[in-house]
């Protein structure tokens, strides 16, 4: 039996950032084959001589100029045979987190523009990228409750209220802040620093930092991070 196969493999990245109580996603604007420009997730085709993770890392650097704090494979999209009108393309999507306050985004290669969009204001995207984004939002909400990925969205030193607001924003619910603080501090993976916030008004508040090395050591010993909300 002779098999004819002409399938291309692509990678796409859902890169989340967080600032001022708003969750953002990084999008690029592209224009192909004389079509109108459209917004899309960063990504592109995998080269014959590279791994998937190398491909998505390269595409992010080329199209957006960002380096990632946290990234993992999200899902493979290809059941819709016509998801890309140009070719039969299977996309391996990745979910990534970054401290967006420290980025210097810049469009290059086949990206005309790059921009942070609040996830609530994302326009209609190319291909099935709105579906990919929705899957990534669901993954982020779930992971916040069993893995300390929220710290990858914050600066290295942060106000505890920033961490509380991050959970409220992404999970779209109010939390019992007193119990939340008690729970997080009981894990002994968040440290109070001797530095204060640079508030122009009001009493300065202490800054905290996440001890990733201590978390990894605890995790090896069977520690389980878990945050439950009613």
Give residue-wise pLDDT tens across range 12-63: 999 999 999 999 999 999 866 556 788 999 999 999 999 999 999 999 999 9
What is the average pLDDT score of the chain?
90
Model confidence at 84, pLDDT cuts 50, 70, 90, reads confident
Residue whose token pair is 């620093």: 193
Query: Which residue's entry shows tokens 């993992």?
Result: 72
pTM for the full predicted model: 0.92
Per-residue pLDDT at 2 exceeds 80: no
Domains in the chain, CATH or no CATH each: 8-143 (3.90.79.10), 146-220 (1.10.10.10)
* Contact call for residues 163 and 154 (beta carbons, < 8 A): yes
Q: At what angle do helices 177-186 and 160-171 cross, to 10 degrees?
A: 110
Task: Give the single-character DSSP code of 119.
Answer: G
Residue for token pair 């990234």? 71
Any bridge partners for residue 14, and if so which? 95
Distance separating alpha carbons of residues 74 and 76, to the nearest angstrom: 7
Structure confidence by residue, pLDDT tens digits, 91-109:
999 999 999 988 889 987 7
């Amino acid at each position: 039996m002779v098999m004819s196969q002409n399938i291309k493999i692509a990678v796409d990245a859902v890169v989340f950032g967080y600032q001022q109580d708003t969750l953002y996603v990084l999008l690029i604007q592209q224009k192909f084959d004389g079509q109108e420009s459209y917004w899309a997730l960063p990504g592109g085709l995998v080269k014959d001589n590279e791994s998937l993770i190398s491909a998505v890392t390269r595409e992010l650097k080329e199209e957006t100029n960002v380096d990632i704090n946290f990234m993992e494979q999200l899902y493979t999209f290809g059941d819709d045979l016509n998801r890309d009108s140009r070719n039969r393309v299977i996309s391996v999507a990745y979910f990534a987190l970054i401290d967006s306050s420290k980025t210097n985004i810049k469009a290059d290669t086949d990206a005309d523009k790059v921009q942070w969009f609040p996830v609530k204001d994302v326009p209609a995207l190319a291909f099935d990228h709105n579906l990919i984004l929705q899957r990534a939002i669901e993954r982020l909400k779930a992971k916040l409750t069993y893995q300390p990925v929220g710290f990858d969205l914050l600066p290295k030193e942060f106000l505890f209220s920033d961490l509380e607001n991050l959970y409220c924003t992404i999970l779209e619910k109010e939390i019992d802040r007193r119990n939340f603080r008690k729970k997080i501090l009981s894990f002994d993976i968040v440290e109070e620093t001797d530095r204060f916030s640079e508030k122009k008004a009001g009493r300065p508040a202490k800054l905290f930092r996440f001890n990733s090395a201590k978390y990894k050591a605890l995790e090896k010993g069977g520690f389980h991070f878990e945050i439950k909300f009613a």
